[in-house]
Amino acid sequence: MGKLENKVAIVTGAASGMGKSIAQLYVKEGAQVLLADYNFDGAKEVSDELNADGGKTEAMEIDVSKAEDVEAMFDKAVEVFGTVDILVNNAGIMDGFEPVGEITDERWDHIFDVNTKGVMRAMRKSVNYWMDNNKKGVIVNVISTGGLNGAHAGVAYGASKHAVVALTRNSAFMYAEKNIRVNGIAPGAVETNIGSSMTNMSEFGFSRAKLTHGLSPRTGKPDEIGEVAVFLASDDSSFVNGTVIVTDGGWTSGF
């Protein structure tokens, strides 16, 4: 029996990279999954492959920075699968490595709308759903080592991910007696398509951040994050609540 048998999960950003891997591993463990992504064709392709193999998944186009899309995502999962047990907030984008002296208000707002506000809205919707229905729930936030350390990207990305660490820890404590667990994963450098969201790169910011990247022993594979997401969503982690698991091959233990 799979570790997520009869569970229903929503995975945002499931068309690519770590979200795709998380969706695939969840299905392997018996979960039904709503693959929610800005890139509908990509999500549909992953979903079709999984369904052809006997999986039960559905793809949906959403922009996590839009309140109505986040609401619709949750409603769709309930409509298609009857409930939601697991929420994985994975969708996210990079900045252009800008230090504070170079960040524009527009870039700051966009990064926060996607990486932080979208996560808050999905968490708000799910905890209220679980409490209203007297149900158990699990949230897994895919954060970043940049949420715990100073300069793995630009200031906006780092601040947006630090805020998700706070969302994770605060919510874990707040709902600890409500049968809801909230944890995060802080991946180091992982081989995905996130580079495509890096635009208008700051030469100065990148020259500083790359000093820290130079110490990373190796890059990770998406499945190496996906396996941690399986652990955090399953009862194997039943006493783990409010933590952020650094998954970086030892990179940030050095500083």
Report if residue 184 touches ligand NAD, rule: CB under 6 A: no
Among 9, 10, 18, 233, binds ligand NAD (CB under 6 A): 18
The footprint of ligand NAD on residues 121-150 (CB under 6 A) is 142, 144
From residue 222, give the alpha-carbon distance in Å to each of 23, 185, 196: 11, 12, 16
Q: Identify whether 129 is a catalytic site residue.
A: no
Nearest-10 Cα torsion for 88, 157, 251, 148: -80
- Residues contacting 92, CB < 8 A, separation 6+: 13, 114, 115, 142, 144, 161, 194
| Exposure of 230 in the CB half-sphere (CA atoms within 13 A) | 22
Q: Give the shortest CB-135-to-ligand NAD separation in angstroms.
A: 25
Report how many residues bind ligand NAD under the rule CB under 6 A: 28
Report if residue 193 touches ligand NAD, rule: CB under 6 A: yes
DSSP for residue 152:
S
Is-contact 188 252, C-beta < 8 A? yes
Report if residue 39 touches ligand NAD, rule: CB under 6 A: yes
Report if residue 17 touches ligand NAD, rule: CB under 6 A: yes
- Residues contacting 105, CB < 8 A, separation 6+: none
The pattern of x and - marking residues 195 through 234 that bind ligand NAD according to CB under 6 A reads ----------------------------------------
Footprint on this chain of ligand NAD (rule: CB under 6 A): 12-13, 15-19, 37-39, 42, 62-65, 90-93, 114, 142, 144, 187, 189-190, 192-194
Active-site residue list: 157
